[in-house]
Amino acid sequence: MATWSTLEHIDSWVRAVNRPELTFDPDAGRMFLDVYLNGRSAIRWMRTEDGRKVLVSDLSRGEELFLRQRLTDSRSIARQPSLAGSVTLHLLDVADLDVVLHLINMRLEGTPVTASAERSGSWDQFIHWSARFFESAEFDTNERDYKLTIGANLERARTALLDDSPDWMKQLKRGFQSPNNLTNWRMHSVFLKWCEQNPDSAKAALRLIWEPLEPRRIRAFLRMVPGSVVSGTGGRLSLASFLQMALDVREWTMYRSSPLSSGYSLTGFDPPADNNDEQAVYDHAVLFLDRLMDEAAGRGLELRDRLDAQSVLWCVTSWDTSFPPGSTWPVEDQRWFHQFRGDPIPQADSPTR
């Protein structure tokens, strides 16, 4: 799709819609061309060599998931940390542009945008139990606060490295220390030893995983980390996603394969393809977390961000009900919960050993 045809396509669409709320000035001399909806920029077309880069503003979770499910490659979407609610899209063909324009048209018509009209019984139950955990007094203490602390520690390591501070390695090690319980200590010990022995390679790799504007940063980072240092898709993705938390732990959450596999199964969400690399597996997990947030919102449960979604996923799939809040539920509720997960159901009259 040539640069001019992109501009021309947007201009033709705005003319065809013919609504006073929409304005577009296709001035070929400008670097940025905006489609305005009620005076606010809804689409910003950025003049690049191939003319395929577009920024979409004020995107809700449902709208982002709508785009991810319909674009040629969902990995072409990258959130902009400096612009809340905005994403950049690298359009692969004119059909992708039409998806974006269709989204703007839905805004014009006031049509609520959700990823799917499907409200299955599996999602009903999953969100029910998510709410039981999320609304408990212990949720932030058990599942959120310490992850925010980990993210802050990693952010300091990132700052030290990008500033070429001599204590970047010290700060990196601190990021893996308490309260971190997310990574396997053997795995991250080997990785940190590799960083100490290969500081130039390590810094180059870390700069890749800590680049906010690179949508494929996990793939780029792992290409720099030898398989002899960290092996296996799960282990390598665990490391990469942990380090990525330095960008914004509320958006870029830790990857855990077991809770996600259980979540896919319990909700009927398709798992990633077997031949997907780590980047594609993580992108699929993000799609699931966004779907979880969308399904929760549709049932009155407002999760704050992906960190909440990742946390309730872990609770629903992995929580031991011998601990609060599960231990405070009525016995019958505990039995329903275990039955939903497919666990062996505890017997009330089982003898204590």
User: Residue 112's pLDDT band (boundaries 50, 70, 90)?
Assistant: low
Query: Can you give the pLDDT at residue 103?
Result: 81
Angle at 248 between CA 133 and CA 294, to 5 degrees: 45
Query: Can you give the pLDDT at residue 118?
Result: 38
Q: Where are the domains of the chain?
A: 3-109, 121-138+256-341, 140-244
Long-range pairs of 110-117 with CB within 8 A, sequence gap ≥ 24:
112/62, 113/60, 113/62, 113/63, 113/66, 114/62, 114/65, 114/66, 114/294, 114/298, 115/62, 115/65, 115/66, 115/69, 115/290, 115/291, 115/294, 116/69, 116/291, 116/294
Residue 44: phi and psi, rounded to 5, are: -115, 115
* Beta strand segments in the chain, E: 22-24, 32-37, 40-46, 53-56, 77-79, 87-90
**Residue 189 CB neighbours (<10 A):** 13
Positive or negative: CA dihedral 210, 213, 215, 216: negative
Query: Can you give the pLDDT at residue 40?
Result: 73
Q: What is the mean pLDDT of residues 270-296?
A: 93
Query: Can you give the pLDDT at residue 119?
Result: 38
The lowest-confidence range among 33-37, 156-160, 265-269, 332-336 is 33-37
Residue 303 has pLDDT above 90, yes or no: yes
From the list 198, 200, 253, 251, the residue with the least C-alpha distance to 229 is 198
What is the average pLDDT score of the chain?
A: 85
Compute the distance between CA of residue 154 and CA of residue 175 in angstroms, rounded to an integer: 5
89: buried, middle or exposed (CB in 10 Å: 19+, 13-18, 0-12)? buried
Residue 79 has pLDDT above 70, yes or no: no
Task: Using CA atoms of 174, 242, 79, 120 in order, give the dihedral in degrees to the nearest 10.
Answer: -140
Q: What is the mean pLDDT of residues 320-344?
A: 90
Compute the distance between CA of residue 307 and CA of residue 10 in angstroms, rounded to an integer: 36
Q: What is the mean pLDDT of residues 115-136?
A: 77
Return the half-sphere exposure (C-beta side, CA atoms, 13 A cut-off) of residue 47.
Answer: 11
Query: Can you give the pLDDT at residue 289?
Result: 96
Cα radius of gyration rounded to whole Å, the chain: 23
User: Residue 14's pLDDT band (boundaries 50, 70, 90)?
Assistant: confident
Query: Can you give the pLDDT at residue 230?
Result: 96
Q: What is the mean pLDDT of residues 106-128?
A: 69
The lowest-confidence range among 206-210, 307-311, 339-343 is 339-343
CB 281 within 8 A of CB 272: yes
**Two tokens, residue 345:** 């159901």
Q: What is the mean pLDDT of residues 142-155?
A: 97
Compute the distance between CA of residue 45 and CA of residue 250 in angstroms, rounded to an integer: 28
**Residue 131 CB neighbours (<10 A):** 17
Query: Can you give the pLDDT at residue 353?
Result: 36
CB 210 within 8 A of CB 246: yes
CB 270 within 8 A of CB 300: no
Query: Can you give the pLDDT at residue 99?
Result: 81
User: Residue 328's pLDDT band (boundaries 50, 70, 90)?
Assistant: very high
Residue 62 has pLDDT above 80, yes or no: no
**Two tokens, residue 192:** 């940190």
- Report pLDDT digits (tens) over 217-261: 999 999 999 999 999 999 999 999 999 999 999 999 999 999 999
Higher pLDDT among residues 105 and 160, named by residue: 160
Question: What are the b/e assignments for 35-49, b being 16+ CB within 10 Å?
Answer: bebeeeebbbbeeee
User: Residue 347's pLDDT band (boundaries 50, 70, 90)?
Assistant: low
Whether the predicted model's global pTM rises above the 0.95 cut: no
CB 309 within 8 A of CB 289: yes
Higher pLDDT among residues 81 and 237, named by residue: 237
Query: Can you give the pLDDT at residue 16?
Result: 79
**Two tokens, residue 303:** 């999760």
Residue 94 has pLDDT above 80, yes or no: no
The lowest-confidence range among 56-70, 265-279, 292-306 is 56-70
User: Residue 80's pLDDT band (boundaries 50, 70, 90)?
Assistant: low
From the list 57, 61, 59, the residue with the least C-alpha distance to 296 is 61
From the list 133, 131, 127, 129, the residue with the least C-alpha distance to 294 is 127
Q: What is the mean pLDDT of residues 174-195?
A: 97
User: Residue 349's pLDDT band (boundaries 50, 70, 90)?
Assistant: very low
According to DSSP, the residues that pair with 153 across neighbouring strands are none
185: buried, middle or exposed (CB in 10 Å: 19+, 13-18, 0-12)? exposed
